[in-house]
Amino acid sequence: MITIEKNPVSLLPQTDLTAPVFGKIHTDHLFVAEYKNGTWHEGKIIPFQHLSLSPFALALHYAQSVFEGMKAFNTADGRTYVFRPEDHHTRLTRSMQRMCMPEIPKSLFLEAVSTFVHLEKEWIPSAQGGALYLRPLVFASEARVGVKIAEEYLFLIMACPTVPMYSKPLSVKVETQYARAAEGGTGNAKCAGNYGAAFYPTHLAQQEGFDQVIWTDAKTHSFIEESGTMNVFAVINGVLTTPPVSGTILEGITRDTILSIAKRMNIPTEERKISVEELESGFKNGSITEIFGTGTAAAVIPIQKVSIDGRTYSPEGEYSIMNQLGSTLQSIRSGTLEDTQHWMVFVD
Protein backbone atom coordinates (compact mmCIF):
# COMPACT_ATOMS: atom_id res chain seq x y z
CA MET A 1 0.00 0.00 0.00
CA ILE A 2 1.51 3.31 -1.09
CA THR A 3 1.08 6.11 1.43
CA ILE A 4 0.45 9.62 0.17
CA GLU A 5 1.52 12.83 1.88
CA LYS A 6 -0.02 15.57 -0.20
CA ASN A 7 1.93 18.73 -0.95
CA PRO A 8 0.10 21.53 0.91
CA VAL A 9 1.30 24.07 -1.65
CA SER A 10 0.77 23.26 -5.32
CA LEU A 11 2.95 24.98 -7.91
CA LEU A 12 0.35 24.29 -10.58
CA PRO A 13 -1.63 27.57 -10.41
CA GLN A 14 1.55 29.57 -11.06
CA THR A 15 2.91 27.30 -13.82
CA ASP A 16 2.54 28.07 -17.52
CA LEU A 17 1.79 24.76 -19.22
CA THR A 18 1.55 26.09 -22.76
CA ALA A 19 5.07 25.22 -23.93
CA PRO A 20 7.11 23.74 -21.07
CA VAL A 21 10.85 23.39 -21.76
CA PHE A 22 11.62 19.67 -21.54
CA GLY A 23 12.66 18.60 -18.06
CA LYS A 24 12.65 21.99 -16.36
CA ILE A 25 9.44 21.99 -14.37
CA HIS A 26 8.67 19.37 -11.75
CA THR A 27 5.22 18.48 -10.48
CA ASP A 28 4.20 18.68 -6.82
CA HIS A 29 5.15 15.18 -5.68
CA LEU A 30 7.85 12.53 -5.64
CA PHE A 31 7.51 8.77 -5.26
CA VAL A 32 10.18 7.10 -3.13
CA ALA A 33 10.77 3.43 -2.31
CA GLU A 34 13.79 1.98 -0.58
CA TYR A 35 15.67 -1.28 -1.03
CA LYS A 36 17.33 -2.37 2.18
CA ASN A 37 18.08 -5.64 3.99
CA GLY A 38 17.52 -7.63 0.81
CA THR A 39 14.05 -6.37 -0.09
CA TRP A 40 12.10 -3.52 -1.67
CA HIS A 41 9.97 -1.73 0.94
CA GLU A 42 6.59 -0.16 0.40
CA GLY A 43 6.81 3.18 -1.29
CA LYS A 44 5.44 6.56 -0.39
CA ILE A 45 4.46 9.69 -2.30
CA ILE A 46 5.72 12.85 -0.65
CA PRO A 47 5.88 16.55 -1.54
CA PHE A 48 8.60 17.10 -4.16
CA GLN A 49 11.83 17.80 -2.29
CA HIS A 50 15.60 17.44 -2.36
CA LEU A 51 17.12 14.19 -1.24
CA SER A 52 19.47 13.72 1.64
CA LEU A 53 22.30 11.55 0.37
CA SER A 54 25.72 10.56 1.66
CA PRO A 55 28.61 11.80 -0.50
CA PHE A 56 29.69 8.14 -0.26
CA ALA A 57 26.53 7.00 -2.13
CA LEU A 58 27.80 4.34 -4.51
CA ALA A 59 25.84 5.57 -7.55
CA LEU A 60 27.79 8.83 -7.52
CA HIS A 61 31.07 6.96 -7.75
CA TYR A 62 30.40 3.87 -9.85
CA ALA A 63 27.25 4.81 -11.82
CA GLN A 64 24.89 2.08 -10.66
CA SER A 65 21.97 4.14 -11.85
CA VAL A 66 19.25 3.33 -14.38
CA PHE A 67 16.11 5.09 -15.48
CA GLU A 68 13.06 5.02 -17.70
CA GLY A 69 11.27 7.68 -19.70
CA MET A 70 7.50 7.18 -19.90
CA LYS A 71 4.50 9.32 -20.65
CA ALA A 72 0.97 9.78 -19.32
CA PHE A 73 -1.62 11.39 -21.59
CA ASN A 74 -5.25 12.42 -21.61
CA THR A 75 -7.65 11.06 -24.20
CA ALA A 76 -9.81 13.53 -26.12
CA ASP A 77 -12.64 12.79 -23.68
CA GLY A 78 -10.45 13.58 -20.67
CA ARG A 79 -9.42 10.17 -19.31
CA THR A 80 -5.85 9.81 -18.07
CA TYR A 81 -3.65 6.84 -18.92
CA VAL A 82 -0.03 5.72 -18.93
CA PHE A 83 1.39 4.45 -22.21
CA ARG A 84 2.82 0.90 -22.10
CA PRO A 85 3.87 0.84 -18.42
CA GLU A 86 4.43 -2.94 -18.38
CA ASP A 87 6.87 -2.66 -21.27
CA HIS A 88 8.75 0.06 -19.45
CA HIS A 89 8.96 -2.21 -16.41
CA THR A 90 10.33 -5.01 -18.60
CA ARG A 91 13.01 -2.72 -20.00
CA LEU A 92 13.84 -1.32 -16.56
CA THR A 93 14.25 -4.86 -15.26
CA ARG A 94 16.63 -5.68 -18.10
CA SER A 95 18.67 -2.55 -17.45
CA MET A 96 18.79 -3.35 -13.74
CA GLN A 97 19.94 -6.91 -14.34
CA ARG A 98 22.80 -5.60 -16.50
CA MET A 99 23.80 -3.20 -13.72
CA CYS A 100 23.52 -5.83 -10.95
CA MET A 101 20.58 -4.12 -9.29
CA PRO A 102 17.70 -5.90 -7.51
CA GLU A 103 14.57 -6.26 -9.62
CA ILE A 104 11.61 -4.05 -8.71
CA PRO A 105 8.44 -6.18 -8.45
CA LYS A 106 6.10 -5.40 -11.34
CA SER A 107 3.21 -4.85 -8.91
CA LEU A 108 5.18 -2.20 -6.99
CA PHE A 109 6.22 -0.45 -10.21
CA LEU A 110 2.74 -0.41 -11.75
CA GLU A 111 0.99 0.66 -8.55
CA ALA A 112 3.55 3.42 -8.01
CA VAL A 113 3.16 4.72 -11.56
CA SER A 114 -0.63 4.74 -11.58
CA THR A 115 -1.03 6.19 -8.07
CA PHE A 116 1.50 8.89 -8.89
CA VAL A 117 -0.10 9.79 -12.24
CA HIS A 118 -3.56 9.83 -10.70
CA LEU A 119 -2.32 12.41 -8.20
CA GLU A 120 -0.53 14.57 -10.80
CA LYS A 121 -2.92 14.32 -13.75
CA GLU A 122 -3.89 18.00 -13.66
CA TRP A 123 -0.33 18.73 -14.79
CA ILE A 124 -0.83 17.25 -18.27
CA PRO A 125 -0.66 20.13 -20.78
CA SER A 126 -3.68 20.33 -23.05
CA ALA A 127 -1.56 21.26 -26.12
CA GLN A 128 -1.24 18.73 -28.98
CA GLY A 129 1.31 16.14 -27.84
CA GLY A 130 1.06 17.40 -24.26
CA ALA A 131 1.98 14.74 -21.70
CA LEU A 132 3.29 14.13 -18.27
CA TYR A 133 6.83 12.85 -18.73
CA LEU A 134 7.55 10.31 -16.01
CA ARG A 135 11.07 9.59 -14.93
CA PRO A 136 11.43 6.44 -12.85
CA LEU A 137 15.01 6.40 -11.53
CA VAL A 138 16.79 3.72 -9.50
CA PHE A 139 20.24 4.24 -8.04
CA ALA A 140 22.66 2.84 -5.49
CA SER A 141 22.23 4.86 -2.31
CA GLU A 142 24.43 2.78 -0.02
CA ALA A 143 27.21 4.84 1.54
CA ARG A 144 30.49 3.09 0.78
CA VAL A 145 33.44 4.17 -1.32
CA GLY A 146 34.64 0.58 -1.81
CA VAL A 147 34.10 -0.72 -5.33
CA LYS A 148 31.20 -3.10 -4.87
CA ILE A 149 27.63 -3.91 -5.86
CA ALA A 150 25.44 -1.80 -3.59
CA GLU A 151 23.12 -3.36 -1.05
CA GLU A 152 20.84 -0.31 -0.75
CA TYR A 153 18.94 1.51 -3.50
CA LEU A 154 16.34 4.21 -3.98
CA PHE A 155 13.56 3.96 -6.55
CA LEU A 156 12.08 7.38 -7.37
CA ILE A 157 9.42 8.59 -9.75
CA MET A 158 9.39 12.25 -10.68
CA ALA A 159 7.46 13.97 -13.43
CA CYS A 160 7.45 17.02 -15.60
CA PRO A 161 4.76 18.44 -17.87
CA THR A 162 5.99 18.27 -21.42
CA VAL A 163 5.34 18.61 -25.12
CA PRO A 164 7.55 16.73 -27.63
CA MET A 165 11.20 17.54 -26.87
CA TYR A 166 12.06 18.83 -30.36
CA SER A 167 9.93 21.49 -32.01
CA LYS A 168 11.56 21.43 -35.45
CA PRO A 169 13.11 18.89 -37.82
CA LEU A 170 16.59 17.81 -36.80
CA SER A 171 19.99 18.10 -38.33
CA VAL A 172 22.32 15.24 -37.42
CA LYS A 173 25.89 14.16 -37.97
CA VAL A 174 26.81 10.53 -38.55
CA GLU A 175 29.48 9.97 -35.89
CA THR A 176 32.36 7.85 -37.10
CA GLN A 177 35.04 8.73 -34.58
CA TYR A 178 33.48 8.25 -31.14
CA ALA A 179 31.29 5.32 -30.10
CA ARG A 180 28.27 5.07 -27.83
CA ALA A 181 28.28 1.33 -27.21
CA ALA A 182 30.39 -1.72 -27.97
CA GLU A 183 29.23 -5.31 -28.19
CA GLY A 184 29.14 -6.82 -24.72
CA GLY A 185 28.81 -3.36 -23.17
CA THR A 186 25.76 -1.60 -21.75
CA GLY A 187 24.30 -0.11 -24.94
CA ASN A 188 20.88 -1.70 -24.53
CA ALA A 189 20.60 -0.78 -20.85
CA LYS A 190 19.06 2.57 -20.03
CA CYS A 191 21.83 3.36 -17.59
CA ALA A 192 23.00 6.83 -16.63
CA GLY A 193 26.59 6.27 -17.77
CA ASN A 194 25.54 5.77 -21.40
CA TYR A 195 24.18 9.31 -21.48
CA GLY A 196 27.11 10.95 -19.69
CA ALA A 197 29.55 9.25 -22.06
CA ALA A 198 27.61 10.56 -25.06
CA PHE A 199 27.82 14.20 -24.01
CA TYR A 200 31.28 15.00 -25.35
CA PRO A 201 30.82 13.81 -28.97
CA THR A 202 27.32 15.29 -28.99
CA HIS A 203 28.65 18.58 -27.68
CA LEU A 204 31.27 18.65 -30.46
CA ALA A 205 28.53 18.00 -33.05
CA GLN A 206 26.38 20.74 -31.53
CA GLN A 207 29.30 23.16 -31.81
CA GLU A 208 29.29 22.38 -35.53
CA GLY A 209 25.58 23.27 -35.66
CA PHE A 210 24.00 19.80 -35.46
CA ASP A 211 21.24 18.86 -33.04
CA GLN A 212 22.38 15.30 -32.47
CA VAL A 213 24.65 12.55 -33.73
CA ILE A 214 23.71 9.23 -35.26
CA TRP A 215 26.01 6.68 -33.66
CA THR A 216 27.73 3.99 -35.69
CA ASP A 217 28.96 0.58 -34.51
CA ALA A 218 32.06 0.79 -32.32
CA LYS A 219 34.09 -1.78 -34.27
CA THR A 220 33.89 -0.60 -37.87
CA HIS A 221 31.92 2.67 -37.75
CA SER A 222 30.21 1.51 -40.91
CA PHE A 223 26.67 0.74 -39.70
CA ILE A 224 24.28 3.21 -38.13
CA GLU A 225 22.86 2.42 -34.70
CA GLU A 226 20.73 5.03 -32.91
CA SER A 227 20.70 8.73 -32.28
CA GLY A 228 21.33 10.39 -28.91
CA THR A 229 17.79 10.36 -27.59
CA MET A 230 16.05 8.37 -30.30
CA ASN A 231 15.96 5.27 -32.47
CA VAL A 232 16.33 5.92 -36.18
CA PHE A 233 14.10 4.88 -39.10
CA ALA A 234 14.66 5.36 -42.83
CA VAL A 235 12.19 4.72 -45.62
CA ILE A 236 14.28 2.89 -48.23
CA ASN A 237 12.55 2.01 -51.51
CA GLY A 238 9.23 2.39 -49.71
CA VAL A 239 10.20 0.02 -46.87
CA LEU A 240 10.25 1.33 -43.32
CA THR A 241 13.69 0.20 -42.23
CA THR A 242 15.43 0.41 -38.86
CA PRO A 243 18.55 -1.23 -37.39
CA PRO A 244 17.77 -4.33 -35.33
CA VAL A 245 17.93 -3.92 -31.56
CA SER A 246 21.11 -5.69 -30.74
CA GLY A 247 23.12 -5.40 -27.54
CA THR A 248 24.28 -1.96 -28.59
CA ILE A 249 20.94 -0.30 -29.35
CA LEU A 250 18.30 0.67 -26.83
CA GLU A 251 14.99 -1.12 -27.33
CA GLY A 252 12.85 1.96 -27.75
CA ILE A 253 9.20 1.57 -26.75
CA THR A 254 8.24 4.19 -29.36
CA ARG A 255 10.35 2.29 -31.91
CA ASP A 256 8.36 -0.84 -31.19
CA THR A 257 5.08 1.11 -31.25
CA ILE A 258 5.87 2.55 -34.68
CA LEU A 259 6.82 -0.86 -36.08
CA SER A 260 3.54 -2.34 -34.75
CA ILE A 261 1.49 0.49 -36.21
CA ALA A 262 3.25 0.10 -39.57
CA LYS A 263 2.36 -3.60 -39.61
CA ARG A 264 -1.24 -2.77 -38.69
CA MET A 265 -1.31 -0.33 -41.64
CA ASN A 266 0.32 -2.82 -44.03
CA ILE A 267 3.36 -0.61 -44.49
CA PRO A 268 6.30 -2.90 -45.32
CA THR A 269 8.92 -2.97 -42.53
CA GLU A 270 12.38 -4.38 -42.17
CA GLU A 271 14.70 -4.56 -39.18
CA ARG A 272 18.17 -4.89 -40.61
CA LYS A 273 21.57 -3.28 -40.57
CA ILE A 274 21.90 -0.04 -42.53
CA SER A 275 25.40 0.84 -43.61
CA VAL A 276 26.65 4.40 -43.78
CA GLU A 277 27.48 3.67 -47.41
CA GLU A 278 23.89 2.60 -48.12
CA LEU A 279 22.63 5.71 -46.36
CA GLU A 280 24.81 7.96 -48.48
CA SER A 281 24.04 6.24 -51.78
CA GLY A 282 20.33 6.16 -50.85
CA PHE A 283 20.32 9.92 -50.42
CA LYS A 284 22.20 10.34 -53.70
CA ASN A 285 19.99 8.07 -55.81
CA GLY A 286 16.72 9.03 -54.12
CA SER A 287 15.90 5.55 -52.74
CA ILE A 288 15.83 7.03 -49.22
CA THR A 289 12.78 9.25 -49.10
CA GLU A 290 12.43 9.79 -45.34
CA ILE A 291 14.59 9.54 -42.26
CA PHE A 292 13.25 10.18 -38.79
CA GLY A 293 13.75 9.55 -35.10
CA THR A 294 11.47 8.09 -32.44
CA GLY A 295 11.64 8.23 -28.68
CA THR A 296 9.43 8.79 -25.66
CA ALA A 297 10.65 12.34 -25.11
CA ALA A 298 11.27 13.11 -28.78
CA ALA A 299 8.04 11.46 -30.06
CA VAL A 300 8.29 11.10 -33.88
CA ILE A 301 10.50 13.75 -35.45
CA PRO A 302 11.83 14.17 -39.01
CA ILE A 303 15.55 14.35 -39.61
CA GLN A 304 15.96 17.00 -42.24
CA LYS A 305 19.72 17.00 -42.71
CA VAL A 306 22.24 14.21 -42.38
CA SER A 307 25.95 14.91 -42.52
CA ILE A 308 28.28 12.09 -43.56
CA ASP A 309 32.00 12.94 -43.47
CA GLY A 310 31.19 16.60 -44.05
CA ARG A 311 28.78 15.97 -46.93
CA THR A 312 25.20 16.96 -46.14
CA TYR A 313 22.08 15.26 -47.50
CA SER A 314 18.36 15.87 -47.21
CA PRO A 315 15.81 13.25 -48.21
CA GLU A 316 13.53 14.43 -50.95
CA GLY A 317 10.31 12.66 -49.92
CA GLU A 318 7.26 14.27 -48.40
CA TYR A 319 7.49 12.27 -45.16
CA SER A 320 4.16 10.70 -45.99
CA ILE A 321 4.92 7.40 -44.22
CA MET A 322 6.21 9.12 -41.09
CA ASN A 323 3.18 11.43 -41.08
CA GLN A 324 0.72 8.53 -41.49
CA LEU A 325 2.40 6.64 -38.64
CA GLY A 326 2.54 9.72 -36.43
CA SER A 327 -1.10 10.59 -36.97
CA THR A 328 -2.24 6.99 -36.36
CA LEU A 329 -0.28 7.00 -33.10
CA GLN A 330 -1.89 10.31 -32.21
CA SER A 331 -5.37 8.90 -32.95
CA ILE A 332 -4.73 5.89 -30.72
CA ARG A 333 -3.44 8.17 -27.98
CA SER A 334 -6.37 10.50 -28.15
CA GLY A 335 -8.76 7.54 -28.00
CA THR A 336 -10.27 8.08 -31.44
CA LEU A 337 -8.71 4.88 -32.87
CA GLU A 338 -9.01 1.54 -31.10
CA ASP A 339 -6.07 0.59 -28.89
CA THR A 340 -5.96 -2.98 -30.17
CA GLN A 341 -2.68 -3.74 -28.39
CA HIS A 342 -3.84 -2.55 -24.95
CA TRP A 343 -1.03 -0.04 -24.69
CA MET A 344 -3.05 2.47 -22.68
CA VAL A 345 -3.41 1.77 -18.96
CA PHE A 346 -6.00 4.07 -17.41
CA VAL A 347 -5.43 5.48 -13.96
CA ASP A 348 -8.95 6.73 -13.22
Residues in contact with ligand COI by the rule CB under 6 A: 69, 195, 229, 295-298
Radius of gyration for the chain, computed over Cα atoms and rounded to the nearest angstrom: 20
Q: Which is nearer to ligand COI, 282 or 302 (CB)?
A: 302
The dihedral over CA atoms of 324, 325, 326, 327, expressed in degrees to the nearest 10, equals 50
Q: Which is nearer to ligand COI, 283 or 343 (CB)?
A: 343
CB of 110 to ligand COI, least distance (A): 18
Contact between residue 212 and residue 202 where contact means Cβ atoms under 8 Å apart: yes
CB of 69 to ligand COI, least distance (A): 2
Which of 42, 1, 45 is closest to 27 using CA atoms?
Answer: 45
> What's the number of CA atoms in the CB half-sphere (13 Å) around residue 294?
22
Q: Which is nearer to ligand COI, 69 or 201 (CB)?
A: 69
CB of 140 to ligand COI, least distance (A): 20
CB of 113 to ligand COI, least distance (A): 14
d(CA 155, CA 263): 36
CB of 23 to ligand COI, least distance (A): 7
Q: Which is nearer to ligand COI, 48 or 67 (CB)?
A: 67
E strands in the chain: 3-4, 29-36, 39-40, 44-47, 65-67, 70-74, 80-83, 131-140, 153-162, 170-175, 212-216, 224-227, 230-236, 239-242, 269-271, 288-295, 299-308, 311-313, 344-346
**Cα torsion angle, 334, 164, 115, 340, sign:** positive
d(CA 55, CA 7): 28
CB of 330 to ligand COI, least distance (A): 17
Residue nearest to ligand COI (CB): 69
Q: Which is nearer to ligand COI, 115 or 296 (CB)?
A: 296
**Cα torsion angle, 63, 254, 313, 272, sign:** positive
CB of 101 to ligand COI, least distance (A): 17
Q: Which is nearer to ligand COI, 31 or 133 (CB)?
A: 133
Q: Which is nearer to ligand COI, 195 or 313 (CB)?
A: 195
